Structure 1
Amino acid sequence: MNDPLSSSALYAAALPVSLGVFEPDQHTQTLAVSKQGALLDLQGGPPVGEMIWLHIQLPKGVTIEATATIRPRNADLGDGVPVEFSMFMHGSRGVWNQFMGELELAASEGGRDRRVWTRERHVSLLVRAQEREWVSGDVSQGGVFVPSKILLPEGTSFKLELIHPDTQHVFVVQARVARLQYGHGGDVRGMGLEFLGMDDERRFLLQRFYTQGVAPL
């Protein structure tokens, strides 16, 4: 496989997914999608190389069916299980391509950037917002995961302060709660916060902040 699930090809999307042929017996969601595959929110899951049958629910009540092959996990993409599509059923390939085209168009026209960014492994930040503080989990140029038992409503936007542990410099961004994460037993794990209004220059400054602890003036 020519890495169809590389970060440059993925777009964040939480689509309900059922696994099984006639009577699906496992239900989850996508964490991200590409034209060639998806990243599924599965703990454990089938072994690498196994073929599975997916029922993916798109917006507006459309459900497509496809077979897919489990691929090796990619640490840069987090805890999701990568799958590569093998065959689409009942003309679903065209529907999927249209859906992906809409995601790509939204990003290219200045809509919310839905790319999936590579995690920064070398830094853990203090994150402060709305009189609360957290120690970050995963961080990237696209956002940050904060482990927390107290969740803000999904879609909430606010000013976020990122504090570098080495320099104590502060990088301020606008963020929104993009995803609430729960464990399989329903226990609360935390929130995925997405950075807003980040152009290429701001991302360059953010990357410098991660690696050097230097905040913009």
Structure 2
Amino acid sequence: MNILGFDVGGTKISAVLGDEHGKIKATIRKPTIKHLGKNRLRDQLFEIGDQLIKENNVKKLDGIGVIFAGLVDQEKGMIITSPNILGLDNFMISAALKDHFRADVVLENDATGATIAERLFGSGKNTDNFLYLTLSTGIGGGAFVNGKLMRGQHGLAGEFGHMVIMSNGPTCGCGRKGCLEAIASGKSVSRRVSESITAVRDS
């Protein structure tokens, strides 16, 4: 089988061509084109996917998996909102990819998808209870309890990065102040270091 996978993050897009056993045949990584809206991101995914298909002589895709750094509606295949990539609210990404590549699409939040992958292929393969934490441009995670993925009432069970830990802290991409992601994510730490260096130079 030929499965196309996209990991769409606030900094980069990683794409893979693999099979149902998790074996990776080819990969591509490119910077995310941000702030240009739904159509540009859609076209970038088309270009990356088409490149993988052409370079590996794929005649037929059997499925597509997409994990996305933001709030998603898995059943509708829709990006609800993204704190790190602007202009994607209510984007029906699964329908766009299905129409272009002629294959069924599964959409997940990036941290949830990584948690599922860890359960299937990684360190969580032989355990029914574990917590998974991601630290990148943003912060997220997921958990399996008694062999079941914990999604939460609105699919937000793994959104650790948007727990408020400092009531008057910096503004997060989600709009609230003091989220863990606004303080400790890779993007936030980089910004704070840059601000500190600038302050020292100006003192």
> TM-score, length-normalised on structure 2?
0.28
Larger relative strand fraction: 1
> TM-score, length-normalised on structure 1?
0.27
Larger relative helix fraction: 2
